[in-house]
């Protein structure tokens, strides 16, 4: 099996990060800062990034890590108490952690594109996290511009989507050519998953962001009509949507850019882990034009336009409808 050591180290770190995120959410997540782009960031985002970057840097010192957060805000004197809170939370998972360590570890995620690099979103779907809904910890390993390993922890996702009140907390793991495994975060359950074998487009279930501003609703509604979708779409925050497609909870997830394509290309850490998890479960992921996602260009998918993740069987039909109807 490929990447055994990478998997072992990354999964152990992600599980610690997930514990921190859930604990902070249950205790008090009110310590929320605003980044330059006004999006929220919490002490759990920083704690999660610190734990995972520390583990990767110690085990794979030659690997570059490109992660969503950096420690600039935490180093400002007015946010000293936030740095203290992050440190206290990480200390519960990693003894002897100091404030200096936190800054160092978080900034290990400021790497650049290399022939082999990791990309991390320490909390994908921070808005969902704050709302008490879904979020994910997303980590992927990219080699030569192609995702080879992806891991997605979803601490609030039910293990059995047909029983939403059942046990929650799953981790999806996929490595190239070896399929996708879904396990419970406590390690008790683990099994291979695969996408739905539904080719009948009228019967499929679509997933979408809870935040309606994250995808173009007008163009989506038009496309739904053209494709003749009859089932209501399922709202879900974060890359948990990719996990949902991979395990057959839904069949299609689209991200249609709002307005001018140049204004907001997608971030690599928002899609790398999710994409391989869907592909290795038998599905397909491209942009709206049917083009493969290119992870070799920088922190953005700058040569791609939007996202289509599907069960594979309906992919061509969706791309065709997009090409004809969504200019």
For residue 88, state whether it binds ligand AMP (rule: CB under 6 A). Answer: no
Q: Minimum Å distance from CB 258 to ligand AMP?
A: 6
Partner that binds at residue 280, options Mg ion, ligand AMP, none, CB closer than 5 to 8 Å by kind: none
User: Can 45 be counted among the known catalytic residues?
Assistant: yes
Alpha-carbon distance of 169 to 137, in angstroms, equals 11
Given 42, 45, 119, 287, the catalytic residue: 45
Residue 278 CB partners (closer than 8 Å, separation 6+): 180, 195, 242, 245, 246, 284, 285, 309, 310
Partner that binds at residue 312, options Mg ion, ligand AMP, none, CB closer than 5 to 8 Å by kind: none
Given 126, 180, 251, 286, the catalytic residue: 126
Q: Minimum Å distance from CB 194 to Mg ion?
A: 26
Alpha-carbon distance of 21 to 305, in angstroms, equals 32
Task: Lay out the site mask for ligand AMP across 114-153 (x = CB under 6 A, - = otherwise).
Answer: ----------xx--x-------------------------
Number of Cβ atoms within 10 Å of the Cβ of 1: 6
For residue 270, state whether it binds Mg ion (rule: CB under 5 A). Answer: yes
Q: What is the CA radius of gyration of the chain?
A: 19
CA torsion through residues 18, 22, 27, 30, sign: positive
Do the Cβ atoms of 83 and 72 come closer than 8 Å? no
Partner that binds at residue 81, options Mg ion, ligand AMP, none, CB closer than 5 to 8 Å by kind: none
Task: Lay out the site mask for ligand AMP across 220-239 (x = CB under 6 A, - = otherwise).
Answer: -----------------xx-
For residue 292, state whether it binds ligand AMP (rule: CB under 6 A). Answer: no
Binding to Mg ion (CB under 5 A) within 72-111 occurs at none
Alpha helices, H only, the chain:
4-27, 43-59, 80-93, 99-107, 126-131, 217-227, 240-246, 272-280, 315-325
Q: What are the residue numbers of the active site?
A: 45, 126
């Amino acid at each position: 099996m490929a990447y055994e050591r990478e998997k072992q180290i990354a999964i152990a770190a992600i599980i610690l990060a997930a514990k921190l995120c859930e604990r902070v959410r249950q205790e008090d997540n009110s310590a929320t800062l605003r980044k330059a782009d006004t999006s929220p960031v919490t002490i759990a985002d920083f704690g999660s990034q610190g734990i995972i970057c520390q583990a990767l840097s110690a085990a794979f010192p030659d690997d570059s890590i490109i992660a969503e957060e950096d420690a600039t805000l935490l180093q400002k004197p007015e946010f000293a108490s936030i740095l203290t809170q992050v440190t206290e939370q990480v200390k519960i998972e990693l003894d002897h952690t100091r404030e200096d360590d936190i800054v160092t570890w978080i900034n290990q995620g400021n790497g650049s594109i290399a022939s082999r690099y990791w990309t991390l979103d320490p909390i994908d779907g921070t808005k969902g996290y704050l709302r008490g809904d879904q979020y994910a910890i997303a980590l992927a390993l990219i080699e030569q511009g192609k995702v080879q390993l992806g891991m997605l922890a979803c601490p609030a996702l039910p293990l059995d989507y047909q029983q939403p009140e059942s046990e929650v907390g799953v981790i999806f793991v996929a490595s190239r050519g070896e399929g996708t495994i879904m396990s419970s975060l406590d390690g008790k359950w683990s099994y291979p998953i695969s996408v739905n074998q539904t080719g009948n487009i009228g019967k499929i279930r679509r997933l979408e962001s809870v935040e309606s501003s994250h995808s173009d609703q007008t163009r989506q509604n038009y496309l739904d009509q053209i494709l003749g979708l009859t089932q209501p779409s399922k709202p879900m925050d974060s890359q948990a949507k990719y996990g949902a497609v991979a395990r057959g909870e839904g069949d299609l997830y689209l991200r249609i850019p709002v307005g001018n394509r140049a204004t907001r290309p997608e971030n690599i850490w928002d899609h790398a882990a999710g994409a391989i998890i869907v592909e290795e479960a038998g599905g397909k992921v491209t942009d709206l034009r049917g083009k493969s996602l290119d992870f070799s260009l920088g922190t953005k998918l700058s040569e791609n336009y939007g996202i289509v993740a599907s069960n594979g069987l309906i992919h061509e039909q969706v791309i065709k409808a997009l090409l004809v109807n969504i200019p």
